[in-house]
Amino acid sequence: MEYGSYLKLDRLLTAQEPESLKQGREAHDEMLFIVIHQAYELWFKQILHELERVGRIFGGRLVDDAELSRAVHAAERVVKIAQLIVSQIDVLETMTPMDFLEFRDLLVPASGFQSVQFRLIETRLGLTRSDRLKFDGSDFDARLPDDARLRIAAAEAQPSLRAEIDQWLSRTPFVEMGGFDFRAAYDAAIDRMLKADIETIRRHPQLTEPEKRVQIASLETSSAMFDALLDDARFEAVRADGGWTMSRRALQAALFIFLYRDEPALQLPFRMLRALMDIDEQMALWRLRHALMVSRMIGRKVGTGGSSGYDYLRGSAERHRVYNDLFAIATFLIPRSDLPPLPQAVRASMRYRYEGM
């Protein structure tokens, strides 16, 4: 085995063919443009490879603890790759708008929107067709080749990672165990905390009566939000309006994991959920950085693929979030000092125990 042949460097390093060079007027920065985007596609391939492993682990009826560790490792690797692809924009932005104009017209109608692998990543994570922004009035894949559209359709037909995570969370055993009902215990703790906060506001000597009413009304709104997560009927009403994308049982389990993450049995699940949030955040950051870079390079011009360019990218940074539900859980967190104590039997089931011979 030899280094160059193993990495297929003869093919890899000759895959950069600047269009400007073919036209007899070489644009120096087109090489950078090609290398950056080829590097993106290589990293997209690796992300899909890691997500495939995560999907295999969570796609089964049971998730073995040892397998969960591998899934967490793969998800955390995706986070690092996502951070890297965001930072690649710094390199791309060393190209000035006038440098880009030297070869931009030669790219029409090619566009980064045609990256099939990026669309597959979005789909695998859980972004649905109905959640996507229209691409200048059309579906996001309308301008892709037929074989690419078939690949995306096949991916959409499979359970997404978000759906698999939902099923996994819904099976969390500790939420209801041995007579312990997390929902009831948490509801009581929230009630005590909110009543104490309201009483503190009412007795606050430096607040005016109008200020007190505003703050108390805010706390009452928070109470209604808590009820919407704990009450079946209210939750379904909120979900029907698009307020939640995951199931109530899964979200309650996620809340339980976030609140009691110090317990050994919950540390890996917490890292898994945090990695999904990190991936979602980095993807949103990449879209936003991409939008700002596009604005910097072409201003308000139409993109090479005929898209609205900046406006579409900026909108997708917020609209194409997949794990908003996990971010929303921060609304329902309470201080550790107010956590309902876990029964000894439940605590023992979540901790390591080593017995001597």
pLDDT tens track for 275-301? 999 999 999 999 999 889 888 888 766
Q: What is the pLDDT of residue 335?
A: 86
Q: What is the pLDDT of residue 197?
A: 85
Q: What is the pLDDT of residue 357?
A: 52
Position 3 confidence tier, pLDDT thresholds 50, 70, 90: very high
Residue 82 or residue 353, greater confidence:
82
Segment of 47-61, 241-255, 314-328, 334-348 carrying the highest mean pLDDT: 47-61
The average pLDDT across 128-132 equals 88
Q: Is 176 helix (H, G, I), strand (E, B) or coil?
A: strand
- In this prediction the pTM is 0.88
**Contact between residue 291 and residue 317 where contact means Cβ atoms under 8 Å apart:** yes
What's the one-letter identity of residue 137? G
Q: What is the pLDDT of residue 302?
A: 59
131 CB-near residues (< 8 Å, 6+ apart):
319, 320
Share of the chain above pLDDT 90, in %: 55
d(CA 269, CA 267): 6
Residue 221 or residue 123, greater confidence:
123
The average pLDDT across 105-112 equals 85
Phi, psi of 339 (to 5 degrees): -65, 135
Q: What is the pLDDT of residue 301?
A: 62
Average pLDDT, rounded, for the chain: 89
Q: Is the dihedral of CA 258, 261, 267, 269 positive or negative?
A: negative
**Tally of CB atoms within 10 A around 101:** 12
pLDDT tens track for 7-55? 999 999 999 999 999 999 999 999 999 999 999 999 999 999 999 999 9
Name which of 75-79, 98-102, 181-185, 351-355 the model is least confident about. Answer: 351-355
Position 97 confidence tier, pLDDT thresholds 50, 70, 90: very high
Phi, psi of 135 (to 5 degrees): -95, 90
The average pLDDT across 155-167 equals 96
| Buried b / exposed e along 228-263 (16+ C-beta atoms within 10 A) | bbbbeeebeebbeeeebbbbbbbbbbbbbbbbbeeb
176: β partners: 181
Q: What is the pLDDT of residue 303?
A: 55
- Asked whether residue 222 carries a pLDDT value surpassing 80, the answer given is no
The average pLDDT across 342-351 equals 88
Provide the total of helices (H) and of strands (E) in the chain, helices listed first: 17, 2
Domain positions in the chain are 26-174+260-322
Q: What is the pLDDT of residue 54?
A: 97
Position 345 confidence tier, pLDDT thresholds 50, 70, 90: confident
Task: Supply the DSSP symbol for 135.
Answer: B
Residue 126 or residue 316, greater confidence:
126
Q: What is the pLDDT of residue 322?
A: 93
Segment of 81-90, 135-144, 222-231 carrying the highest mean pLDDT: 81-90
- Confirm or reject CATH 1.20.58.480 for domain 26-174+260-322, answering yes or no: yes
